[in-house]
Structures are given as C-alpha cells and as structure tokens.
Structure 1
C-alpha cells in the first residue's frame, strides 16, 4: 500500500490511474484496477493524491483477491489521514 500526497510525484501515476485496468469512480476521484494493482486518484485541497494497493503474489488458493478487498478501506482511511476525506470507493464486481 502506498499513498503519494505530493502533487508532483502523484502525476507520475496519472496515466496508470486512467488506463491500469477496469475503471471506477469515487466520491472525490477515480481509479482503475486489475488483478494485482488498484490505483485511485483523489482531488484534494493540496492537489491530486494517489492511493495504490498492489499484491505481487497469490495468497494460498485465493489468488489476488487482497487488492480488491483492501482498496476501499485503505482509500477511506488514508484520505482522512492526509486531510482530503471523506472519500468513498466502490470497485465494480469482477
């Protein structure tokens, strides 16, 4: 899990946020996800902030489900922590 709160480095992830997989929207931003990585970009007072969850390996027989399972809670908690919450994210069904 990674949060990029500085607008300059956050822009590095913008293309992947747009084209990194299936798209979705949040209350203050948007994102994309695939089997192993989910990214979300929120528009905060300080500029864009990017939240990322990545799972490199399968977990037992569960595949890469952790990426999907953790994203909404991670974004909600981190958005509050960095001062741009509340942010609610709902990933579409796979």
Structure 2
C-alpha cells in the first residue's frame, strides 16, 4: 500500500514539475488509451480464468443488483439535493 501511495505522490510531483511543458496537454489522451488497454487485458485475464467463468452467472446477478442499487441511490440523492438547493421561490419542482 505504501508503494502505491509513493507512486501516486511521485506522479503528482512530476506533474507539478512539468505542468508548463507543451506535450503534457496530451496526457489525457494517453491516459485514456492506457486505461482502455488495461481494461482489455483485464478482460483477457477474466476470460482465461475457469473459476470466474464457472461462477459468472452468480457474479453477474450480484453485480446487477449492486449496479441498480448504486444508480438508484445516486439518482435519489441527486434529486433530493437538486430539489433542496435549487428550488425557486416556493415553486414545486
């Protein structure tokens, strides 16, 4: 865990040091590409794991329930926050 924290801090320090270098503006595109590659290889790893594939239906149902719950909770909180903070002069939303 300490290694990960040190890597993040070194990235922040490096980013701060080179923030005025012109090619750093393209870092977002490179990061997007790297994340896409990581997701691809993660999928390859899951696809080659027999244990994960054997329990995929159970994992899928649990993931669906968590996703629906998380999305519903986020929407409810966003609606409550919006209706509380952005209500205009007694108007109903």
- TM bucket by the smaller chain? under 0.3
Larger fraction in helix = 2
Computing the radius of gyration over CA atoms, which structure comes out larger, 1 or 2?
A: 2
